Amino acid sequence: MKGLYFQQSSTDEEITFVFQERENLPVTEDNFVKLQVKACALSQINTKLLAEMKMKKDFFPVGREIAGIVLDVGSKVSFFQPDDEVVGILPLDSEDPGFCEVVRVHEHYLVHKPEKVTWTEAAGTIRDGVRAYTALHYLSHLSAGKSVLIMDGASAFGTIAIQLAHHRGAKVISTACSLEDKQCLERFRPPIARVIDVSNGKVHVAESCLEETGGLGVDIVLDAGVRLYSKDDEPDVKLQLLPHKHDIITLLGVGGHWITTEENLQLDPPDSHCLFLKGATVAFLNDEVWNLSNLRILKDVMEKLSAGVFRPQLDEPIPLYEAKVSMEAVQKNQGRKKQVVQF
């Protein structure tokens, strides 16, 4: 039985994906569940975080968002039994790769998969669904009537965040990084209040948001990264399309919430003072700081997927033997739709 792993170079900059033969899984005991994997989604690996957490291994398992059928359960398992269809996210320190036919996982990382939901939909939505809940529910307390700016709304995560915001009755503004993204966002139903095309670098995001909100600013900003420097000092063309941190602070309304994915965000004293005057908050969306023991989030994501609230952007399913090449592309941030391996 083969599984997909990655090996990090001595410089910690490049990683190599390899298939390796695995030993037979140990006897399923205590609160662990043996699972036949039916689908596993592809997501970027945060190698910097692994290094900071001192997680040193020769080979790291790859693939964490899984859906499958329960084969066996330990003596202390109370939520599942053989033949149950489940979905979940493997923990960061999991010994088993999701890209493998059979894995062993603690029951607290799993929930039942609704019958109407396909394997690929379940695996392809669970992570982005949890991220969207964390950002909009726990970090910014989204409610009906609020205005929210979701950057890069045509991405796999942005799509789910927009759908959750609409479901909660919020007014959504979003940015598009290309003409194709703009057309995708304009097809949303219910419609997005304003789609801001930033692909040519000429449109000012702050001005557009203030105009849309009558000068009040938006209540919630969910960024997809920010520029810390001026465009002249930023060599990366992709980063030049991101809003500057001052733009975000400018467009934020009184009592607003800025949810950022920028782990190296630097706020100077004038920035902090402006946020203080607005009574605004800044929160960091860290993918790994989820309270996964709170199964309610995972269950709610699956229920909304089953009810059609979430309609994920999924690419065509790929076979396991293509996972290595596909992960290399995902790690380089190539492709817009979520990719899922189907077994």
Whether 306 is in a domain gets the answer no
Looking at the structure, do residues 241 and 164 belong to the same domain, yes or no? yes
Kindly state whether residues 219 and 94 are assigned to the same domain: no
Q: What is the pLDDT of residue 203?
A: 81
Distance, in Å, from the CA atom of 26 to the CA atom of 245, rounded to the nearest integer, reads 50
Tokens of 222: 């969910």
Q: Is residue 35 part of a domain?
A: yes
Give the domain CATH number at 252: 3.40.50.720
Global pTM exceeds 0.85 = yes
230-to-155, 191, 235 alpha-carbon distances in Å = 25, 33, 10
Positions in the chain short of pLDDT 50: 293
171 and 101 share one domain: no
pLDDT at position 293 = 46
Q: What is the CATH number of the domain that holds 321?
A: 3.90.180.10
Same domain, 180 and 328: no
pLDDT at residue 11, as a whole number? 58
Say what the pLDDT of residue 233 is: 57
Residue 293 within a domain? no
Which SS3 state, helix, strand or coil, does residue 163 take? helix
Q: Is cis: bond before 243, omega within 30 of 0?
A: no
148 and 240 belong to one structural domain: yes
Domain identity same for 33 and 175: no
Q: Is residue 22 part of a domain?
A: yes
State how many domains the chain has. Answer: 2
Would you state the pLDDT for residue 291? 54
**Based on the domain organization, do 181 and 238 belong to the same domain?**
yes
pLDDT in tens, 210-229: 999 999 999 999 999 888 87
Q: Is residue 122 part of a domain?
A: no
Indicate if 103 and 209 belong to the same structural domain: no
What's the pLDDT score for residue 12? 56
Whether residue 186 sits in one domain with residue 89: no
Give residue 209's domain range. Answer: 127-287
**The two three-digit tokens of residue 160, written as one number:** 């789910």
Contacts of 77 (CB under 8 A, 6+ apart): 31, 32, 33, 107
Indicate whether 132 and 41 sit together in one domain: no
- Percent of the chain exceeding pLDDT 70 equals 93
The C-alpha atoms of residue 237 and residue 239 are separated, in whole angstroms, by: 5
Beta strands in 133-247 (DSSP E): 147-150, 171-176, 194-197, 218-222
pLDDT at 297: 87
Same-domain status, 248 and 321: no
Give CA–CA dist 209/213, Å, rounded.
Answer: 6
> Residue 160 and residue 270: Cα distance in Å, rounded?
34
Say whether both 279 and 320 belong to one domain.
no
